[in-house]
């Protein structure tokens, strides 16, 4: 039993089945990403003034990734054209480039962009304490200029200062050993604390620090932060606007009292609605890129049998997955300006 | 229901053809992992009917509670507590187990809604009937993507397993309503006593993601099939109305479900990764400021949810309306009245269904302009609905009506859907909705549309297409025994809800309003009446279950492939159809409802019958079967 119009086009629609099928699927994908983008609009419009960060994403890397994805869209069309012209070797060449581009895109995201956020620390200061941290927030300067306030101090954790109840010292010590941390006594005799760092002299990762302060009997007292440039010199005109090219972290270390913080975390999904929607959209997009790459690898490695039996069918398969790939690229064309540039 | 290949091909089983890899499939390929649309349709149908039954059982337990708040469920109370756990049931003051707790009531209520909508009606009315009937009605050998069709059933099956499993994890099933509103749904089932991932609320979201994926795969298949695989001569305006309804329904699923999938992913992120998509700033949970960054929007969830859930209600009703239309035409022996108007109406309805969703959100403080927009579109959408029901009612006029079991259900569908639709009109106005929102009036309204509405249409469809699927008839006597009490009891359950709702009885009160008895005294007595009706309704389904199961094996065999003397193409195929469906390629020459054509030699002219010509000087000569 043959399904009609599997490879040949139906006369009145001009389509073969899979082509119609993929366009229908893409319509549903438009609605899926549309739902997420409309969430972005809602959340950004609803965010309090100053609580929607900008300039936190690396634009040069994002631009490079955009170029890679666009290039792969071109090469997948060339691969399909090679099949239509029955040039198998050329198809394999262009398909390989497409696959490599897809893998590079994912690798950049998963080894460069995302991990560096998970070790980045940000603490939102309580509104009534902004004046105390003026040296790092610079809000008087910003209000004078009519700019949105800066509620957050960010950077890398230099150390976590904690107070440990004596009976829980055992749990605390085993936690330190497990995560390769060291604790020294604090320098201020008036406020006895233990200063926790890792064994390289830097602070623990934010995810580890989170677990640390949640151990029963351990109380967070303060966080020492190696400041980002915007917090090191908040009144400099250079820091009045967000930057596309990420700036070098400063050497300045600030101490933030735990009781002055309304919430803190790594630059992870739970940090703010900005990162929530950033990670969700780029994550879902990344899954689609991965799916496309897997399908292309399958066609690269196992396509020859179908090509020899029915080359038109093989060409159609590559065309249809190429359409999917173009859509994935199109979503990225929206993601990049919306998240990286705006 | 065995689909033999011999009928369709007459080939020796040992032959292997190069162009066509047909060979007798093994047990697993034939009965479990089949790519044949008929088998997949039956798989969806059986699974869906079982879930409809399970959802009904959940409601029966709830109805016991509503009529007898605080009393243990009789006879099976102890067993229920053992099965569903101590969060759902507790013991009363005398130590008798089986009292439905408030938590249990909420869980049963949320799951009743979820199960009936997404695991009962959509799989049966859309997927089961659609898969089985649509390719046959358009003269196709199967769906365009048989493997994707099979995949969609198994993804659906996974979602079924997850949803059922959610009842048995610590803490029980999701209990934040079928609407799963944040922030409750973001914080529910978390903390001590709950597993961080395997809890009811999270499993609900995961199950929904699988269910939605299955629906999307199915929707692509339906649309592609109806566009690409219509047999020669089957033009758009010769399609049976049922195919049109399935076509529009598939578009609604395709475009409306993804925003809910996106929202489901976001709510999962809220629960699993602590994001604040839907968590507002300053939320207090259990007396403490919640550990979320805040900045999220609970209203965003509502918008994304209702953007699907409104088109979803048209997904629930349209296939049923299509089935009723087929059955009315067939059993009045005359064409449907206003075929073009019906087609136009469902196309307009499909489009409008995307722009009415916020009439479920009138109480969120949306402001006059936005409310005005949605009130206007909601009132406008009642027009195509009225066109549909009017056309179907007018189709009865002058008909030669045969009250076969399908026709009983189809005829009763008309006034029942009418009541459901008309009671929706007051709800369209936000001034009236201010009072009626979240009352039993709303429950009465939508249950009339889906219970004596869609479920009656489903029953009609089962009785009607059973002979095509099995080659046997269901017993008409048991059909009557099923129909009459069901009709009476359904009205007994749902009509008093309007009275209760208008008196102010709220939805989701787990004690039936006993706490507020002072306010609702005049109507609270209806609880017992409704619960007794529900129990009797359950009894009335027994003849159906017996009829269905017994007739598969022992029902009266059909005398020919077209026991209803119907005109549409599915009745040309053998009963049951074999692999590939039709013995000869199908060509369509006529519209779908050529009943009682003047001058014809019988009171129906099948779509596949060629026009009068030299070869066929009248329509098919007596004694010669139609093509």
- Domain residue spans of chain B: 39-69+101-280+291-557
CA distance B451 to chain A (A): 30
CATH class of the domain defined by B39-69+101-280+291-557: mainly alpha
Q: Is residue A205 over pLDDT 80?
A: yes
> Which region holds residue B231: left if phi is over 0, alpha if psi is between -120 and 50, else beta?
beta
For A270, the closest chain B residue by CA position comes to B275
Contacts of A271 in chain B (CB under 8 A): 293
What's the pLDDT at A243?
Answer: 85
pLDDT of residue B363: 92
Chain B residues whose beta carbon lies within 8 Å of the beta carbon of residue A29: 258
Rounded CA separation B85/B195 (Å) = 15
Task: Identify the pLDDT of residue A198.
Answer: 85
| B195 min Cα distance to partner chain A (Å) | 19
> Can you give the pLDDT at residue A193?
83
Note the pLDDT of residue B525.
Answer: 93
Per residue, the 3-state secondary structure of B186-239, as one string, reads HHCCCCCCCCCCCCHHHHHHHHHHHHHHHHHHHHHHHHHHHHHCCCCCCCHHHC
Block mean pLDDT (10 aa), chain B, length 627? 40 40 73 91 96 96 94 93 92 92 95 97 97 97 96 97 95 94 92 90 96 97 97 96 98 96 95 92 86 87 95 96 97 96 97 96 92 96 96 96 96 97 94 94 96 95 97 97 97 97 94 89 94 97 97 95 96 93 93 91 91 63 47
Task: Nearest by CB to B254, from A28, A280, A284: name it.
Answer: A28
Residues in chain B: 627
pLDDT over 80 at A33, yes or no: yes
DSSP-assigned letters across all residues of B479-504: HHHHHHHHHHHHHHHHHHHHHHHHHT
A215 neighbors A175 (Cβ within 8 angstroms): yes
Closest CA to B390 of B341, B437, B428: B341
With an 8 Å Cβ cutoff, are B295 and A43 in contact? Answer: yes
CA separation for the pair B66, B509 (Å, rounded): 8
Q: What is the dihedral of CA B132, B135, B136, B139, to 10 degrees?
A: 180
Total beta-carbon pairs less than 8 A apart between chain A and chain B: 144
Model confidence pTM above 0.80: yes
* Per-residue confidence (pLDDT) for residue B147, from 0 to 100: 95
pLDDT, tens only, A54-70: 889 999 999 999 999 99
CATH class, A17-119+274-341 region: mainly alpha
Domain segments of chain A as ranges: 17-119+274-341, 152-262
Residue B52: CB partners within 8 Å, gap ≥ 6?
Answer: B116, B120, B121, B124, B455
| Chain A hits for B273, Cβ within 8 Å | 268-270
Structure tokens at B416: 């029942």
Residues in chain A whose Cβ is within 8 Å of chain B: 1-5, 10, 13, 15, 17-18, 20-21, 24-25, 27-29, 31-36, 38-39, 42-43, 46-48, 51, 124, 263, 265, 268-273, 276-277, 280, 284
Tens of pLDDT, residue by residue over B61-87, are 999 999 999 999 999 999 999 999 898
Contact between chains at A273 and B216 (C-beta distance less than 8 A): no
- Give the model's pLDDT for residue A125: 93
User: Residue A43: its chain B contacts at CB < 8 A?
Assistant: 277, 295-297, 300
ipTM exceeds 0.90, yes or no: yes
Query: pLDDT tier at A250 (50, 70, 90 boundaries)?
Result: confident
Report CB contact under 8 Å: A17, B266.
no
């Amino acid at each position: 039993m043959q399904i009609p119009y599997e490879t040949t086009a139906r006369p009145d629609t001009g389509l073969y089945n899979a082509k119609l099928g993929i366009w229908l699927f893409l319509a549903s994908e438009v609605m899926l990403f549309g739902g997420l983008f409309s969430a972005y609009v809602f959340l950004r419009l609803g965010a309090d003034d100053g609580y929607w960060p900008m300039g936190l994403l690396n634009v040069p890397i994002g631009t490079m990734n955009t170029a890679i994805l666009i290039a792969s869209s071109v090469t997948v069309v060339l691969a399909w054209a090679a099949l239509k012209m029955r040039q198998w070797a050329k198809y394999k060449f262009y398909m390989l480039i497409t696959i490599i581009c897809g893998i590079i895109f994912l690798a950049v995201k998963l080894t460069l962009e995302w991990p560096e956020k998970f070790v980045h620390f940000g603490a939102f200061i309580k509104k009534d304490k902004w004046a105390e941290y003026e040296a790092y927030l610079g809000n008087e300067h910003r209000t004078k200029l009519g700019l949105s306030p800066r509620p957050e101090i960010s950077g890398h954790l230099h150390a976590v200062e904690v107070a440990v109840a004596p009976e829980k010292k055992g749990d605390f010590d085993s936690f330190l050993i497990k995560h390769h941390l060291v604790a020294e006594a604090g320098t201020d005799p008036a406020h006895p604390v233990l200063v926790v760092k890792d064994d390289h002299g830097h602070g623990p990762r934010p995810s580890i620090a989170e677990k640390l302060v949640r151990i029963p009997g351990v109380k967070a007292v303060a966080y020492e932060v190696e400041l980002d440039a915007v917090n090191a010199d908040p009144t400099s005109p250079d820091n009045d606007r967000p930057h596309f090219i990420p700036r070098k972290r400063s050497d300045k270390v600030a101490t933030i009292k735990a009781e002055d913080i309304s919430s803190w975390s790594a630059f992870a999904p739970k940090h703010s609605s900005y990162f929530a929607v950033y990670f969700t959209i780029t994550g879902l997009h990344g899954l689609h890129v991965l799916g496309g790459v897997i399908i292309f690898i399958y066609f690269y490695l196992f396509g020859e049998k179908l090509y020899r039996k029915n080359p038109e069918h093989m060409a159609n398969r590559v065309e249809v997955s190429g359409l999917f790939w173009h859509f994935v690229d199109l979503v990225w064309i929206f993601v990049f300006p919306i998240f990286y540039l705006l | 229901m065995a689909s033999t290949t011999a009928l369709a091909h007459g080939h020796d089983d040992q032959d292997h053809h190069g162009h066509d890899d047909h060979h007798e499939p093994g047990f697993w390929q034939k009965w479990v992992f089949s790519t044949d649309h008929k088998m997949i349709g039956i798989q969806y149908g059986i699974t869906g009917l079982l879930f409809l039954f399970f959802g009904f059982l959940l409601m029966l337990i709830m109805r016991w509670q509503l009529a007898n708040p605080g009393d243990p469920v009789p006879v099976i109370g102890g067993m229920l507590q053992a099965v569903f756990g101590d969060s759902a049931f507790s013991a009363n003051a005398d130590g008798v187990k089986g009292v439905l707790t408030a938590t249990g009531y909420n869980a049963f209520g949320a799951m009743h809604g979820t199960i009936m909508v997404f695991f009962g009606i959509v799989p049966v009315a859309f997927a089961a009937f659609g898969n089985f009937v649509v390719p046959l009605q358009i003269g196709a050998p199967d769906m365009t993507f048989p493997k994707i069709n099979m995949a969609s059933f198994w993804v659906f099956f996974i979602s079924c397993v997850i949803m059922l499993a959610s009842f048995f994890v610590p803490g029980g099933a999701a209990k934040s309503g079928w609407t799963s509103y944040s922030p409750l749904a973001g914080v529910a089932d978390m903390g001590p006593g709950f597993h961080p991932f395997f809890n009811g609320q999270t499993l609900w979201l995961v199950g929904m993601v699988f269910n939605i994926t299955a629906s999307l795969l199915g929707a692509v298949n339906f649309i592609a099939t109806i566009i690409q695989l219509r047999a020669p001569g089957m033009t758009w305006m010769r399609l049976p109305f049922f195919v049109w309804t399935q076509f529009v329904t598939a578009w609604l699923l395709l475009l409306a479900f993804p925003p809910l999938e996106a929202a489901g992913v976001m709510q999962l992120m809220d629960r699993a990764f602590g994001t604040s998509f839907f968590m507002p700033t300053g939320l207090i949970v259990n007396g403490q400021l919640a550990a979320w960054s805040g900045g999220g929007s609970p209203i965003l969830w509502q918008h994304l949810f209702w953007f699907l859930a409104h088109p979803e209600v048209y997904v629930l009703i349209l296939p049923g309306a299509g089935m009723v239309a087929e059955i009315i035409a067939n059993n009045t022996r005359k064409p449907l009245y206003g075929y073009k108007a019906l087609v136009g109406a469902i196309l307009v309805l499909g489009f409008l269904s995307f722009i009415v969703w916020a009439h479920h959100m009138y109480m969120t403080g949306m402001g006059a302009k936005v409310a005005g927009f949605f009130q206007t579109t909601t009132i406008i959408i009642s027009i195509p609905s009225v066109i549909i029901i009017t056309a179907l009612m007018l189709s009865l006029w002058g008909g030669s009506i045969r009250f076969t079991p399908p026709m009983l259900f189809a005829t009763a569908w008309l006034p029942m859907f009418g009541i459901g639709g008309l009671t929706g009109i007051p709800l369209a106005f936000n001034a009236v909705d201010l009072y009626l929102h979240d009352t039993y009036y709303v429950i009465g309204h939508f249950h009339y549309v889906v219970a004596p509405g869609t479920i009656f249409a489903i029953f009609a469809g089962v009785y009607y297409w059973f002979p095509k699927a099995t080659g046997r008839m269901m017993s008409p006597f048991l059909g009557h025994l099923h129909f009459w009490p069901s009709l009476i009891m359904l009205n007994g359950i749902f009509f008093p809800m309007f009275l209760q709702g208008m008196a102010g009885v709220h939805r989701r009160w787990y004690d039936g309003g006993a706490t507020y008895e002072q306010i609702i005294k005049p109507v609270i007595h209806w609880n017992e009446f409704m619960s007794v009706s529900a129990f009797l309704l359950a009894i009335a389904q027994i003849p159906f279950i017996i009829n269905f199961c017994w007739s598969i094996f022992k029902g009266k065999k059909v005398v020919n492939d077209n026991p209803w003397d119907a005109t549409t193409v599915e009745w040309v195929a053998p009963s049951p159809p074999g692999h590939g469906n039709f013995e000869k390629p199908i060509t369509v020459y006529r519209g779908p409802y050529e009943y009682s054509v003047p001058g014809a030699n019988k009171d129906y002219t099948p779509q596949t019958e060629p026009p009068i010509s030299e070869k066929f000087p009248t329509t098919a000569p007596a004694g010669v079967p139609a093509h």
